[in-house]
Amino acid sequence: MPIVQGGMGVGVSLAGLASAVANQGGVGVISSAGLGAIYNNYSKDYRTASIWGLKEELRKAREATKGIIGVNVMVAMSNFADMVKTAIAEKADIIFSGAGLPLNLPSFLTEDAKTKLAPIVSSARAAKVLCQKWFSEYKYIPDAIVVEGPKAGGHLGYKADQISDEHYSLEAIVPQIVAEVRAFEAEHNCSIPVIAGGGIYTGEDIYRIMALGADGVQMGTRFVTTDECDADPAFKQSYIEAHEEDIEIIQSPVGMPGRAIRNSFLDRVKEGLKVPKACPFDCIKTCDVTHSPYCIMLALYNAFKGKLRNGYAFCGSNAWRAEKIQSVRELMTSLRTEYDSFAAKCEGFSLREKLFGAK
């Protein structure tokens, strides 16, 4: 199935969710963000624990599936190089990398590496720059390109005023990026699948975005409310209880806008009741603890553990539409049914138009 499960940190997509998605024919993705906090018992050193944690999650995923398992590694992470090297050494099938342009990602590949590389971009210009840089410097062509629109969950690669601007919508940027990628393909006689993500929720959404040229989709929010999602039940329940007006854009301590579910923690931040403390992790390059009202790693870790009074849940724009917890198998089946149903309707209409003319 042309579905990539988005990498969701901290702890939301680990081996449990990734292997379940892979077993249903999708691409399962482990998030490498925050593994040092999750595996704190192994080592108090964040970076050492992160390396161990990624090895453990990949091992557990491999034991549970023969499907495709990827790792999401954010460029903004201070241990970006550690996580990329570990993913390659442990033979992850693919690395997805965004939150900045991963211009040097191919430099980490070893001679015997089997791992594919897929950058995450948010504009045609970024796709062009990256393709040219990888080819000119490393003679490497991206194995896929993920386009992430402004309706995605978590940290967003957009300025605040671009998030609601239709010129930056996924539907607007996918054809632009597809055109750029197809031109590169023609020039270099290669094939690069374009995967679109951010706000895709139903089988109909999948059909519509693929009709614009995408080869597949990335979905995160839909997989949170599954049995196999690695987050605490309270985290999943926050999606089910959320109303549309609860989904808000926040300014993250890492210097980027993010989308999250409003709760008492975020209200206290707005009221100035949270105070900065020392940084226990040094996890994100752009995070300045002296100007941060809270530690984002601790906030997201607490949410993952279900302690939402001391943290909050990142989410996509459609999180409020969640109604129930279901298995990954049930979700994938319903997405396929919705896709097939809408495709039959569209293609049937198209055929009628050809035969009898538009009315």
Alpha-carbon distance of 171 to 203, in angstroms, equals: 16
Asked whether the beta carbons of 117 and 104 are under 8 A apart, the reply is no
What pLDDT score was predicted for residue 353? 67
Alpha-carbon distance of 76 to 63, in angstroms, equals: 30
Task: Identify the band that residue 254 occupies on the pLDDT scale cut at 50, 70 and 90.
Answer: confident
Alpha-carbon distance of 292 to 298, in angstroms, equals: 12
Task: Identify the band that residue 272 occupies on the pLDDT scale cut at 50, 70 and 90.
Answer: confident
Architecture of domain 3-229+326-356: Alpha-Beta Barrel (3.20)
Region 191-213: mean pLDDT is 97
Alpha-carbon distance of 146 to 126, in angstroms, equals: 11
Asked whether the beta carbons of 71 and 93 are under 8 A apart, the reply is no
DSSP annotation of 62 reads: H
Least confident piece of the model among 173-177, 256-260, 333-337:
256-260
Per-residue pLDDT tens for 127-156? 999 999 999 999 999 999 999 999 999 989
320-324: long-range contacts (C-beta < 8 A, 24 or more apart)? 320/239, 320/242, 320/243, 320/244, 320/246, 320/247, 321/201, 322/221, 322/224, 322/225, 322/239, 322/240, 322/242, 323/240, 324/225, 324/240
Which residue intervals of the chain are DSSP H helices?
A: 15-23, 35-38, 46-64, 80-89, 124-138, 170-188, 203-211, 221-224, 233-241, 264-270, 296-304, 328-356
Region 12-30: mean pLDDT is 98
Alpha-carbon distance of 204 to 210, in angstroms, equals: 10
Share of the chain above pLDDT 90, in %: 82
The strand pairing partners of 307, in sequence order, are: none
Tokens of 176: 């632009």
What pLDDT score was predicted for residue 284? 62
Share of the chain above pLDDT 70, in %: 92
Q: Is the pLDDT of residue 65 over 90?
A: yes
What pLDDT score was predicted for residue 291? 65
Domain ranges in the chain are: 3-229+326-356, 233-321
User: How is the beta sheet containing 154-155 ordered, strand by strand?
Assistant: 154-155, 257-261, 247-251
Asked whether the beta carbons of 60 and 19 are under 8 A apart, the reply is yes
Region 280-291: mean pLDDT is 62
SS3 147: strand
Per-residue pLDDT tens for 36-49? 999 999 999 999 99
Q: Which of 133, 135, 115, 113 is nearest to 125 (CA)?
A: 133
Q: Is the pLDDT of residue 245 over 90?
A: yes
Per-residue pLDDT tens for 79-93? 999 999 999 999 999
What pLDDT score was predicted for residue 357? 64
The tally of CA atoms less than 13 A away on the side-chain side of residue 90 is 25
Alpha-carbon distance of 311 to 278, in angstroms, equals: 17
Mean pLDDT score of the chain:
92
Tokens of 13: 């997509």
Query: Would you give the distance in Å from CA 241 to the centre of its chain?
Result: 22
Per-residue pLDDT tens for 336-359? 999 999 999 988 776 666 666 654
